Amino acid sequence: MSEATLQLEISVVLPHIEDKRDRCVGRLTELMAGHKGIQQAHVERENGQALVCLHYDPNLLTLEGVRRLAQRAGAQITDRFHHVHLPIEGMDCSDCVTVLEHAVGRLDGVLTVSVNYAAQSMRVEFDGQQVNQAAIERRVRSLGYAIPAEGLRSWLSENRELLFSALAGLLVLVGWAGGRFLGLPQPVSLALYIGAYILGGWDISRHAFHALAERHFDTDLLMVIAALGAAALGEFAEGALLLFLFSLGHALEERALERARNAIKALADLAPKTALVRRNGAEVETPVAQLQLDDVVIVKPGARLPADGVVAVGRSAVNQAPVTGESLPVDKMPDTPVFAGTINGEGALEVRVTRLAKDSTLARVMQMMEEAQAQKSPTQQTVERFERIFVPAVLIGALLVIFAPPFFGVPIRASFLRAMTLLVAASPCALALGTPAAILAGVAQAARNGVLVKGGVHLENLGRLKAIAFDKTGTVTHGRPELTDVVARAGAGREADDVLALAAALESRSGHPLAQAVVRAAQAKGLALPDAADVAAITGRGLQGLLDGLPALLGNAALLADAGVPLPGEIAAQADAWQGEGKTVMFVALGGQVVGALAVADTLRPGVRAVMAQLAQAGISRTIMLTGDNARAAAAIARQAGLQDVRADLMPEDKLDALKGLLQQYGLVGMVGDGVNDAPALAHATVGIAMGGAGTDVALETADVALMADDLGKLPFAVGLGRATRAIITQNLVIALGVIGVLVVASLTGLAGIGIAIFFHEGSTIVVVLNALRLLGYRGTNV
């Protein structure tokens, strides 16, 4: 049976899909596989791009017919299945995540729902034939939460919890001081305490009610029960103080977390909202969202660039730090790429738009940041599983504390008070917040420094790496050969520049990368070249021709031997030394005599050796080069770079096998590459790290972490930030569990009352959030 194949980019068939692992991709392949003539439909990756691969019978379907079927299927899926990303207002504790996910997930037609407390957002995938966005939003609002229009929040909504808390605190203070020092009647003090109950417990009680309705026991419920228990005992002052401190703690936590959210939101504000466009000979101010491909935008000195594009006219130095984290401005000239959100220097530029606003590097970074915030790290998932067991266990424990001690002569009032204190002491708010707050701050700080981390799992794994493997070409080296050495034969009457000029004259007739390196070097020195004629390439040997009428050769030792030209001993010795350093050697002969030699090599990126030293200081025990180069050249580059191990002569599939071996040997291995031919290895590494994410779609799509600048110097920062994030998470878990443990013992033994328990409980929660926010100040030193 005959077969033909058509490959289509997923973004062409399913333009609404943000994540190539989305279930809509599977729906597309299932739908296509059901068509007559389609033999197989699957997804594969090629050069880091996700493609729908359709195998069909050309006797039944034409190429265009298959393309139309795929586009029709994609449109059908797009019309039916929808993805929305909603800001959520009113979440005051991480338990709200479970309530929202459970309640929204129960709606018919909702396929997946993911709520991120730290980012205050919710992502929902739903079947439009069964439910719509309006119904989802109604369900969210019915739970007591709000969805601000376009993510905007009014001053009152932003400050309501803090305002209510402050008023509750004032009522508690007046009620206590008035009754103690001013002789206020007891009913008046009681009324003040009840007012504090209402204000301090307004949000808490609503959330506790909705959690119960969803059959979920959360920390808000523990606090409400404790406050009501205090009231039942007549301890209205204690209960009012509890709700005041609890609501104040939540308000302060929210303010602290907002710092980390703002660090991410600031990225979205980098690109200007309008652009100056040249159309029909006139300059027109146009919204950035309306820019079209190939539009020419005018960027004035000091202005931010409105779109990704290529410089058409002008020269300037552009500050790319907002996107790539580079510390120094980058020179831009015609045909060089520029990115939206970067800042133009002193020269005016005209830029031809190459990406729409929604597809710009900055827009894709923001999209991936949102996805990263929604993903839960392994530690966070473990903590959430623990909470689901721990909170019901606390409620059962509180019941035991109420009813068991009276059998041993303990007064029921004392037992009840200790049980209420236990509810406060064991509330795991700090435990729930410690990890997501650290991940949020870590991801934000990475992005601010030109490192895109696609999720908490990758940030944690960065901090756990034991070894890192590097591709050579384009990663450790520039990926472009350069002339490194020139020597003239002693007694030949020529200088090194003469030898270079002779070689460049011949190489100017060749398009080989090595030839271009020689020509560039001669041009940089402004050398005058002799006239070259009859230049011909000799396969595997080099070039021959005439220079100023004399026979000339440029190539390897075999070329000289074939022509009967002797190789002087001192030149041969120098050539051996260069080859020992991994360089390619070319000999220059003129008139039947060798006049000199040149060495060309793919040069190291600046600072690579320092990067390897910094990685060792950060705890990376092994650095390995994986390359297709020969062992001798690879070993020479590795020595210069400070790499500890080399695996050479590797085909692309061999690199993957080598990486699998490293994973077995070291357990946790990172892979650094350019994201193109390294895609399989990047995908299989514990953490795949791509360089130059701002310049290539492949790097952004393939890797778990993208260094936005084409600069290895960001790698130690990324690894160090991962280490620091893991350290902060560990510290937060120790603080949270330690405080819970001490308070539980103190409450059961009667050493701590509700007031002390809530003070230390809320204090520990604020401490773990502030501790996490230290990551926003991480600069590459230990935290």
Residues assigned a catalytic role: 471
* Token code pair at residue 437: 């707050």
Which conformational region is residue 583 in: left (phi greater than 0), alpha (psi within -120 to 50 degrees), or beta? beta
* Token code pair at residue 702: 């393939």
Alpha-carbon distance values, 552 to 427, 515, 555 (Å): 85, 15, 10
Helix (H, G, I), strand (E, B) or coil at 453: strand
Distance between CA atoms of residues 706 and 674, nearest Å: 10
* Token code pair at residue 470: 């590097």
* Token code pair at residue 53: 């691969």
CB-count exposure of residue 427 (10 Å: 0-12, 13-18, 19+): buried
Question: Pick from 524, 532, 525, 535: which is nearest to 502 by CA?
Answer: 532
Distance between CA atoms of residues 716 and 616, nearest Å: 9
* Token code pair at residue 312: 């058409």
- The amino acid that residue 418 corresponds to is R
What are the beta bridge partners of residue 625?
470, 646
- The amino acid that residue 344 corresponds to is N
Instruction: Dump the DSSP string for 499-532.
Output: HHHHHHHHHTT---HHHHHHHHHHHHTTPPPPPE
Distance between CA atoms of residues 481 and 471, nearest Å: 16
Distance between CA atoms of residues 70 and 12, nearest Å: 10
Rg of the chain on CA atoms, in Å: 34
* Token code pair at residue 410: 């303990």
* Token code pair at residue 122: 């919710």
Distance between CA atoms of residues 95 and 384, nearest Å: 9
CB-count exposure of residue 183 (10 Å: 0-12, 13-18, 19+): exposed
Question: Pick from 596, 512, 519: which is nearest to 553 by CA?
Answer: 596
Residue 694 has what DSSP assignment? Answer: T
Distance between CA atoms of residues 497 and 46, nearest Å: 45
